[in-house]
């Protein structure tokens, strides 16, 4: 089988031009495909502008200035909303059984301020009338149920897999005491009811 020619191997794809005046269109296109906070959109646009300027010789500072004008405009028009993004991410991650501490870390890593993340978590817990302790228990139970660990595993596998199941929850960021409580629970159905989750 013939390999690629040297010309093909040496050829690099040229970055698509981000022409001055097209930053808002590029931002809207990105927002149609992804739900992101302002910091991530800014990072995406600056990366795109940097590649474009290097490939096509446009003035990078002009593109950066346009990005700095477009982002606040999108926020003012509510097309970009870090609070809504944080709340949606809190709900989605919690429904997947992600530990509360990891929820916080992941959303902050996306570029949302710690204050906005805390407010979203508090609003979400308030809507559900949960305390932080019961929310932590629910996240461990949800994770165990989704991954079929502990009381959600086939009875004949539980004893053999107990330590691995416990370690799996702890590695996922859940507190050891809560993870142990869930893994050692006798009945998965009763655990769901006691933690306030529907079976």
* pLDDT (tens digit per residue) in 63-114: 999 999 999 999 999 999 999 999 999 989 888 888 878 888 999 999 999 9
Higher pLDDT, 86 or 173: 86
Q: Which two tokens stand for residue 124?
A: 């979400």
Which residues contact residue 116 at a Cβ distance below 8 angstroms, ignoring those fewer than 6 apart?
82, 83, 86
In this prediction the pTM is 0.64
User: Would residue 4 count as lying in a domain?
Assistant: no
Residue with tokens 């010789």: 57
| Alpha carbons 69 and 74: distance in angstroms, whole number | 9
Higher pLDDT, 116 or 7: 116
pLDDT for position 16: 86
pLDDT for position 128: 56
User: Would residue 109 count as lying in a domain?
Assistant: yes
pLDDT for position 12: 55
User: Would residue 16 count as lying in a domain?
Assistant: no
Q: Are 139 and 174 in contact (CB under 8 A)?
A: yes
Q: Do 144 and 93 share a structural domain?
A: no
Higher pLDDT, 135 or 162: 162
How many C-alpha atoms does 38 have within 13 Å on its Cβ side? 21
pLDDT for position 199: 62
DSSP per residue over 127-179, as a string?
HTT--HHHHHHHHHHHHHHHHT-GGGS-HHHHHHHHHHHHHHHHHTT--HHHH
Query: H or E element: which one contains 53?
Result: helix 38-56
User: Would residue 6 count as lying in a domain?
Assistant: no
**pLDDT above 60 for 4:** no
Q: Do 64 and 107 share a structural domain?
A: no
Q: Do 89 and 62 share a structural domain?
A: no
Q: How far is CA 46 from CA 9, 11, 183, in A?
A: 28, 24, 46
Q: What is the mean pLDDT of residues 19-29?
A: 91
Which among 62, 39, 40 is positioned nearest to 50, based on CA atoms?
62
Residue 106 lies in domain: 82-129
**Could you say which of 76, 98, 120 is where a domain stops?**
76
Q: Which two tokens stand for residue 18?
A: 């981000």
User: Would residue 55 count as lying in a domain?
Assistant: yes
3-state SS, residue 77: coil
Query: How many other CB atoms are found less than 10 A from the CB of residue 82?
Result: 21
- Helices and strands counted in the chain (H then E): 11, 0
């Amino acid at each position: 089988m013939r390999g690629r020619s040297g010309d093909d191997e040496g050829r690099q794809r040229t970055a698509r031009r981000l022409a001055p005046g097209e930053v808002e269109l590029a931002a809207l296109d990105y927002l149609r495909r992804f739900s992101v906070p302002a910091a991530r959109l800014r990072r995406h646009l600056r990366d795109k502008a940097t590649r474009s300027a290097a490939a096509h010789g446009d003035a990078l500072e002009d593109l950066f200035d346009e990005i700095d004008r477009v982002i606040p405009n999108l926020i003012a028009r509510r097309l970009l909303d870090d609070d809504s993004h944080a709340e949606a991410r809190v709900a989605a991650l919690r429904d997947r059984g992600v530990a509360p501490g990891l929820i916080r870390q992941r959303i902050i890593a996306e570029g949302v301020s710690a204050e906005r993340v805390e407010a979203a978590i508090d609003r979400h817990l308030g809507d559900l009338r949960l305390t932080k302790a019961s929310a932590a228990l629910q996240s461990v139970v949800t994770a165990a149920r989704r991954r079929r660990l502990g009381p959600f595993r086939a009875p004949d596998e539980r004893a053999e897999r107990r330590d691995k199941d416990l370690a799996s929850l702890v590695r996922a960021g859940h507190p050891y005491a809560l993870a142990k409580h869930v893994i050692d629970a006798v009945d998965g159905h009763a655990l769901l009811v006691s933690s306030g989750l529907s079976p």
